[in-house]
Amino acid sequence: MNKIIQSGLLCFVMLISSCSLFEPDNFDAPDVALEGQVVDILTGKPVLTDQGSEGIRVRLTELSWGDNVEPNPDFYCMPDGTFRNTKLFKGNYRITVDGPFIPLIREDEDGRELADESIVMDLQSDHQIKFEVQPFLHVEWVGEPTVENGKIIAQVKVSRAVSPEDFRTKVEPMGNYNDDFLNMTDIQFFVSYSSSVGYRARDERWSSRVDYSGNSFDQLFGETITLESNGEIPAGRTVFIRAAARINYDTPAGSGTKRWNYSEAKEVLVD
């Protein structure tokens, strides 16, 4: 009986010692850093964005694992159009960004590739990259904001950063094209105590918006638009403002997310 028990224990010990659960983990920790920026291909200026899912999405797909691999978890640019991820495994990656600009990866309705402006590279050590894109709009301040009775009054100019002809040339072959894609839908006037002011960091008491239907904004491109905050901001407070505008086009196409092009943030003392 003792021999049977001893034999059983010996087999059990041998089974445990051969189990992969007890083997050391030979994978290196994710320690590769990737830094990047998204800039306007014509001006070289950063594409300003929101800090969140309404901003510029960064997507990495590790090709080292072969075909049909799922992308890594997405992350997003900071308001100044830069991004940083310090926890990547070494490997070969396809890197792309989606935002308020002409899509970098374009396919027709049958999935055939029309264009691929993503970046494919080996990440074995820290890297810096730059995406040059065609933003939909430029949103610029005109003069300095003023304050009257607790309200901020500011002026902006919105202009097309990509011509309607170029937009159509690149987007129409993707299928389901509609001239309404080019229509301006709204201008947002964001107010916040945070210097990261935007859709994700706005004070709804004071932020405002102006909506436009159809192509009603077309005649206002390049003209000065006056924006005014809501409510009454208490005197003695310092706030930050940004203006944002968007067209009636989803990025990625069909996602339902229409992303804003932003102005720079301004600091305003309410006196």
Domains contained in the chain, CATH given: 32-133 (2.60.40.1120), 137-270 (2.60.40.2060)
Q: Decide if pLDDT at 97 tops 80.
A: yes
Share of the chain above pLDDT 90, in %: 77
Confidence tier at 199 by pLDDT (50, 70, 90):
very high
Confidence tier at 22 by pLDDT (50, 70, 90):
very low
Confidence tier at 41 by pLDDT (50, 70, 90):
very high
Quote the pLDDT of residue 150: 95
Q: Decide if pLDDT at 44 tops 80.
A: yes
Contact between 247 and 182 under an 8 Å Cβ cutoff? The reply is yes
Quote the pLDDT of residue 30: 81
Contact between 242 and 263 under an 8 Å Cβ cutoff? The reply is yes
Quote the pLDDT of residue 19: 52
Which residues does 151 contact at the CB level (< 8 Å), separation at least 6? 228, 229, 230, 231, 232, 233
Contact between 47 and 78 under an 8 Å Cβ cutoff? The reply is no
Tokens in use for 79? 């308001």
**How far apart (Å, rounded) are the C-alpha atoms in residues 229 and 153?**
7
**If you average pLDDT over residues 82-94, what whole number do you get?**
93
Q: Decide if pLDDT at 216 tops 50.
A: yes
Tokens in use for 130? 């730059």
Which residues does 93 contact at the CB level (< 8 Å), separation at least 6? 60, 61, 62, 63, 120, 121, 122, 123
**If you average pLDDT over residues 40-64, what whole number do you get?**
92
> Nearest 10 degrees: CA dihedral of 176, 179, 182, 188?
-90
Contact between 88 and 44 under an 8 Å Cβ cutoff? The reply is no
**Among the listed ranges 2-6, 109-113, 265-269, which one has the minimum average pLDDT value?**
2-6
Q: What is the pLDDT of residues 135-187, one digit of tens each?
A: 999 999 999 999 999 999 999 999 999 999 999 999 999 999 999 999 999 99
Confidence tier at 16 by pLDDT (50, 70, 90):
very low
Classify each residue of 184-223 as buried b or exposed e, where b means 16 or more C-beta atoms within 10 Å of its C-beta.
bbbbbbbbbeeebbbbbbbbeebbbeeebeeeebeeeeee
**How far apart (Å, rounded) are the C-alpha atoms in residues 116 and 104?**
6
Quote the pLDDT of residue 139: 98
Contact between 205 and 231 under an 8 Å Cβ cutoff? The reply is yes
**How far apart (Å, rounded) are the C-alpha atoms in residues 166 and 58?**
24
Quote the pLDDT of residue 68: 63
**How far apart (Å, rounded) are the C-alpha atoms in residues 198 and 77?**
13
Q: pTM for the complete prediction?
A: 0.86
Write the burial class of residue 82 (CB in 10 Å: 0-12 exposed, 13-18 middle, 19+ buried).
Answer: middle
